[in-house]
Structure 1
Amino acid sequence: METMMEHPRLSRLYRLQWEAAQHAHVLLYPEGMVKLNGSAAEILKRCDGRSSLPDIVAQLEQAFSASGLAADVQAFVADARQRGWLV
């Protein structure tokens, strides 16, 4: 189970980039590509191994003038970790 103080980062197997042909951010990996929705991309962009989950939530809430994002961000990070996208 993840703790609130972990510092998630992309697995070395994945690369996050903007793909103009897809009109979206994608995760590239040796076997293919995952097209991301805007929310997923914004979270993953902040998973740099330096920012804690509370930091990421605060950055997102500030960037999008929103509040109460912690549960959704934590759920996404947990799912992304299960998929192997984050370590």
Structure 2
Amino acid sequence: MTPAGCDTRPRIGTGFRLQWEPAQNSHVLLYPEGMVKLNQSSGEILKRCDGQRSVAAIVAELEAAFATGGLDGDVLAFVELAGKQRWLAWD
């Protein structure tokens, strides 16, 4: 696993699938052993983790989408945690 940084380009980890689940009214992360129900913030971050966008680009998109600033630290902390859980990977 590559340490998360603003220039890294995270993607959903192997064996996981992100999808919107109407019954849960939230994004979920599916894997062979089960499912993780995500809160809105986590879902918004993970749906942008496509291996193409850098963490900096994800932060910029989120700040624009929600008309706020200063999300760098929170997004980076989440991406690092998601990497430790193997929800995210880096090529």
Q: What TM-score do you get using the length of structure 1 for normalisation?
A: 0.96
| Number of equivalenced pairs | 87
Give me the CA root mean square deviation: 0.8
Structure 1 residue matching 2:35: 3-state secondary structure: strand
Compare the two structures and name the one with the higher strand fraction: 2
Q: 1:49 aligns with which of 48, 51, 65?
A: 51
Residue 20 of structure 1 and its aligned partner are, at CA, apart by: 1.1
Residue 12 of structure 1 and its aligned partner are, at CA, apart by: 2.1
Is the 2:5–2:76 contact (alpha carbons within 8 Å) kept by the matching residues of 1?
no
Structure 1 residue matching 2:11: 3-state secondary structure: coil
Match of 2:38?
36
Match of 2:72?
70
User: Is 1:60 the equivalent of 2:65?
Assistant: no
Match of 1:25?
27
Runs of 4+ in 1 over 3 A off after TM superposition: none
Structure 2 residue matching 1:9: 3-state secondary structure: strand
- For structure 2, the 5+ residue unaligned runs are none
Q: What TM-score do you get using the length of structure 2 for normalisation?
A: 0.92
- For structure 1, the 5+ residue unaligned runs are none
Q: Which fold has the larger relative contact order, with Cα–Cα distance below 8 Å and residues 6 or more apart in sequence?
A: 2
Q: 1:7 aligns with which of 9, 20, 35?
A: 9
